[in-house]
Structure 1
Amino acid sequence: MEYGKIIAVTGLPGLYELVSSKSDGAIVRSLDDKSTRFVSSRVHNFSHLESIEIYTVRDNVNLADIFQAMQGSSEKLPDGKDNNALKKYFEKVYPDLDFERVYASDMKKMVKWLGILDANNVEIKLRELTEEPAEEAVAEAQKPEPVAEEPAKAPAKKAATKAAAKKEKPAEEKAEAAEKPKKKAAPKAKKEEADEEPAKKKAAPAKKAKK
């Protein structure tokens, strides 16, 4: 069991192994009774043990450092109900603790949690954070950025050419349209001749009627 997967859940006693995360909570397994359950993030908050820090008279230290000091000490774990015994124990095991800001309830939790971790054979070890190599980061930063000016000019010229072509086409079409009606003027003349011929033919019967 990995130390990085161990969490504390507000409102629930003991420690839990994070089985899987969901958008509205998480599925956790109790280190005490091994039961698995879903815990809603709307009701509870989750704290990874490896992300918890403890106040000291100097800089804050990770909770794992306190646990490792407790495991390496020959002092017997105190009774969690006795606040004086708790303070005396930590004064010997980790004297740099800031006892004005680290309360008896905090010390009680640390003693209880270490007992649960030891019972489950959890190796208290922080996961190594994977970082991008410095050389790759520098090389990435030194890459020349693509120049966007030349590609931007080419489309602009094409667009101008297309616009000019669109403007010229209507002018040519108008010129052709103006010429077409002139060619069609001949059929109109024929139509007028066709109208005149029936009139002449009808005039002949009128002369015969006078005889």
Structure 2
Amino acid sequence: MELEKIISISGKPGLFKLVSQLKNGFIIEDVSTKKKVSIGNSSQVSLLDNIAMFTTDREVPLFEVFENIATSNGYTETLSHKSGEAELRTFMQTALPDYDKDRVYVSDIKKLAQWYNILHKAGFIHQDSFKRSEETGTEANEEKVELKPAEKKAATAKAEKPSAPKVKASTSAAKSAPKSTHRKQG
């Protein structure tokens, strides 16, 4: 899927595509301008693939909502994110009929419309953009590598972030503290 590496960066307008990883950050490409820049690890990055919208009974992945918008609009651009609240709520009702009206705010709907239009203008929204790699067959077969159980464990250990060292609160810290040099006067 073309949309899997699309990210949003807190404090930066627009959407970006992850190009590659650096030792201390990432190289990204603005989906609109195609300009490449690097960002540090300290940037707050959200993969659109990990974002979901609330419905009354579950969370729906953002790309499913994009797919609903695309099919209902004939894979064309949708309304502007600057539209009024009533228009945005109607748009959301079409995109995700059972969305949770208490937890999905107008600001979320604006961002949804804006991101969809950015992706559409950049050429990411078309009929083939929502096909999963399992459906296409070629991508899944080329990238599938079977690991032995020991290799799976090692790969998982490398992928997980090490947890912060645990500090044990004990009396040994008090024992190792320097003793007071204050003497009693008698």
Question: Could you say if the C-alpha distance between residues 127 and 51 of structure 1 is closer, same or farther in structure 2, counting changes exceeding 3 Å?
Answer: farther
**Stretch moving more, 76-85 or 46-55:** 76-85
Q: Give 1:2 shift.
A: 2.0
Letter in 2 for 1:80: H
1:12 and 1:103 mapped to 2: Cα distance? Answer: 21
Residue 107 of structure 2 corresponds to 105
- Which structure is higher in RCO with an 8 Å CA cutoff and minimum separation 6? 2
1:35 and 1:62 mapped to 2: Cα distance? Answer: 28
The 5 A counterparts of 1:87-98 are 87-98=89-100
Residue 24 of structure 2 corresponds to 24
* Correspondence 1:60 to 2:39: no
Unaligned runs of 5+ in 2: 135-139, 150-186
Letter in 1 for 2:9: V
CA contact (8 A) 1:86 1:108 kept: yes
Q: Give 1:127 shift.
A: 5.2
More helix by share: 1
Kindly report the root-mean-square deviation, in angstroms, between the aligned alpha carbons of the 2 structures. Answer: 2.7
Deviations for 1:46-85, whole angstroms, at most 9, x for unmatched residues? Answer: 1111111111101111001100100111497233222221
Residue 182 of structure 2 corresponds to none
Moved over 2 A (4+): 74-79, 124-133
CA contact (8 A) 1:27 1:39 kept: yes
1:66 and 1:121 mapped to 2: Cα distance? Answer: 17
Q: Which of structures 1 and 2 has the bigger CA Rg?
A: 1
Residue 118 of structure 1 corresponds to 120
Residue 71 of structure 1 corresponds to 70
CA contact (8 A) 1:64 1:126 kept: no
| TM-score relative to the length of structure 2 | 0.63
1:47 and 1:66 mapped to 2: Cα distance? Answer: 17
* Correspondence 1:38 to 2:38: yes
Deviations for 1:90-146, whole angstroms, at most 9, x for unmatched residues? Answer: 11332111121111111111111111211222224555699999xx98xxxxxxxxx
1:35 and 1:47 mapped to 2: Cα distance? Answer: 19
CA contact (8 A) 1:16 1:30 kept: yes
Q: Give the percent of matched residue pairs that are identical in Structure 1 and Structure 2.
A: 30
Unaligned runs of 5+ in 1: 138-211
Question: Could you say if the C-alpha distance between residues 30 and 60 of structure 1 is closer, same or farther in structure 2, counting changes exceeding 3 Å?
Answer: same
**Stretch moving more, 1-10 or 12-21:** 1-10
Letter in 2 for 1:83: E
Deviations for 1:138-162, whole angstroms, at most 9, x for unmatched residues? Answer: xxxxxxxxxxxxxxxxxxxxxxxxx
Residue 209 of structure 1 corresponds to none
In the alignment of these two chains, the number of paired residues is: 134
CA contact (8 A) 2:27 2:38 kept: yes
Letter in 2 for 1:48: L
Residue 9 of structure 2 corresponds to 9
2:48 and 2:36 mapped to 1: Cα distance? Answer: 19
Name the SS of the counterpart of 1:50 in structure 2.
helix
Letter in 1 for 2:4: G
Name the SS of the counterpart of 1:8 in structure 2.
strand
